[in-house]
Amino acid sequence: MALLHVTIGELLEKQVELYPDHEAVIYPELNLRKTYKTFNDSVNIAAKGLMALGIEKGEHVAIWSDNKPEWLITQFATGKMGAVLVTVNTNYQASELHYLLEQSDATTLILAESYKGTSYIDIIKKICPDLETSKRENLQLKALPMLKKLIVLSDQTYPFAYNWREVLDLGQEISDKALQTRRSNLDEYEVINMQYTSGTTGFPKGVMLTHHNIVNNGKQIADCMKLTHQDRLCIPVPFFHCFGCVLGVLAAISKGATMVLLEQFHPEKVLAAVSSEQCTALHGVPTMFIAELNHPNFDQYDLSSLRTGIMSGSPCPTEVMTKVMDKMGAKEITIAYGQTEASPVITQTKTDDPIELRVNTVGTPHPNVEVKIVIPGTNQQQKPGLPGELLTRGYLVMRGYYNNFEATKEAIDEDGWLHTGDLAIMRTDGYLEITGRMKDMIIRGGENIYPREIEEFLYQHSNILDVQIIGVPDKKYGEEIMAWIIPKENSNLTEEEIRDFCKGNISWHKIPRYIEFVEEFPMTASGKIQKYKLREMALEQLEYEGGKP
């Protein structure tokens, strides 16, 4: 299958030519609708506004906001005028934001006023107290000397920042010809997007992705879902993450499909959007689908239009996948697997794959993508059916980590293979099973134990809503197994009940020694469960109870 050779801006322009009056963007909550032509017009004005501010090709423009319409416009505006869009996690606080802006050499920050009760304005003032006495035309900030401009997504005026309306007004001063000249100087192999890895170990790293990386990944994702311009894709996952801006936005745009968008995830708002807009596709991480399926008003919404979508971001429980297909009607839902460094999708199931393959595997590699499984710590190919580290190579591999040569060298070897750090099994039929992260694998008394296997088993218990398995240090066995469980409402689950459920059904050495019941798991803003935080909580809990491992 041939790869596309276009920039992000050219991808959008192509759909404007094909489907000018077709709906591109719908925000049900905001009563906002834009056709491909009117959306593209908004993008062009914003691109010219950024140029009017003096932002040059290759400059780094950070955006810190939930899924506002301006975020979506900025993704394509920077794509057309050549600035590198640096996406910022909506959950970031002062120290994290300071690190990202400094490490990324961002010259401009586009930010919402607030998010979930947290004032972003207060946070940036905390980092840069001298903002109060700075002129918005050319900021001079001690803490962030590279940062020269702020743009606030608001009608409110701040002496140290432009607001969005002012940027659009400035865009009127730039000619269409000037934008066209800027666009013609862009190359598809140039970096256009930087996303910071969630940083579960060490500091986050800036993943540099090109037009070529993410445009093609978006198209191949759409191909796997059999998306067409007639589809309506509901995207409740955050734009700052690849799931939102590539699997969602670029996949939809690559086919001229309609995007139905939510500024923030809320399970009932998702159900309402799918129902009212007759969405044919829905994206989400497993925890989102769990929340939707278990919402008390679930049965009030008509989801009969659903056909496909993607469940990704963390291992997908079989029971949840089956319910999404049966109760939600998304019979052609797909599973995608990947990581930011791979633009991000490496493998995906197909819409017509048998249920067994869609619930037990992450599919096969995309076209133009190589995958091999090696014995961990070596480059020696692993035998089919045995777990090893998954490596990938092809158009999808990132350019590298920004200003971090050593980490790049560690991730991408001399032959161009990206080392994912994920454990996987290559089946004889060519489908892949992800068994966990290399660092998540539990070694108990010399036995390799894969958390996913125990999680899948425990999901079968009728009173378990969600479960995560981790390893904790143990003097006798090296590591022991701990289960963190979210019980279903009014279930009164006990540790004894869980262990009785395990006995005779899974090997004795896989039965959790420690069991903890909680109401929720620590998660990233993109919905990924942070197992490292569960480990930290476990160590505190075990010490507190006097059971030092």
Q: Within a 10 A sphere around the Cβ of 545, how many other Cβ atoms?
A: 9
Residue 360 burial (10 A CB sphere; 0-12, 13-18, 19+) = middle
8-186 and 448-544 share one fold: no
**Contact yes or no for 283/309 (Cβ under 8 A):** yes
Stated pTM of the model: 0.85
Adjacent-strand bridge partners of 537 = none
Domain ranges of the chain: 8-186, 206-437, 448-544
Q: Identify the CA nearest to 186 among candidates 5, 451, 312.
A: 5
The span from the CA of 457 to the CA of 318, in Å, is 9
Tokens 């869009």 belong to residue: 85
Handedness of CA 156, 159, 160, 164 (dihedral sign): positive
Give the Cα separation of 339 and 202 in Å (integer): 17
| Beta strands 478-487 and 514-517, pairing class | parallel
Give the CATH number of domain 448-544: 3.30.300.30
Given the DSSP bridges, would you call strands 418-426 and 432-437 parallel, antiparallel or unpaired? antiparallel
Q: Give 237's DSSP letter.
A: S
- In angstroms, what CA-CA distances link 254 with 8, 64, 229? 10, 25, 9
Q: Give the architecture (CATH level 2) of 206-437.
A: 3-Layer(aba) Sandwich (3.40)
* Chain-centre distance for alpha carbon 180: 31
Give me 160's structure tokens.
């140290």
Q: Reduce the DSSP state of residue 477 to 3 states and report it.
A: coil
Could you tell me the CA-to-CA distances from 200 to 148, 411, 533 in Å, in that order? Answer: 30, 16, 9
Is residue 50 within 8 Å of 167, Cβ to Cβ?
yes
Q: Which of 224, 218, 213 is nearest to 364 (CA)?
A: 224
CATH code, 8-186: 3.40.50.980
- Token duo for residue 93: 């606080």
Q: pLDDT truncated to tens, each residue of the chain (549 aa)?
A: 899 999 999 999 999 999 999 999 999 999 999 999 999 999 999 999 999 999 999 999 999 999 999 999 999 999 999 999 999 989 888 888 999 999 999 999 999 999 999 999 999 999 999 999 999 998 999 999 999 999 999 999 999 999 999 999 999 999 999 999 999 999 999 999 999 986 444 578 999 999 999 999 999 999 999 999 999 999 999 999 999 999 999 999 999 999 999 999 999 999 999 999 999 999 998 889 989 999 999 999 999 999 999 998 766 777 888 999 999 999 999 999 999 999 999 999 999 998 889 888 999 999 999 999 999 888 899 999 999 999 999 999 999 999 999 999 999 999 999 999 888 999 999 999 988 777 777 878 666 677 887 898 899 999 999 999 999 988 777 789 999 999 999 899 999 999 999 988 887 888 999 999 999 999 887 777 888 889 899 988 887 555 544
> Token pair for residue 109?
């920050």
- Alpha-carbon torsion 465, 468, 469, 475, what sign? negative
Q: How far apart are CA 114 and CA 334, in angstroms?
A: 34
Q: Please, what is the end-to-end C-alpha distance for the chain in angstroms? A: 53
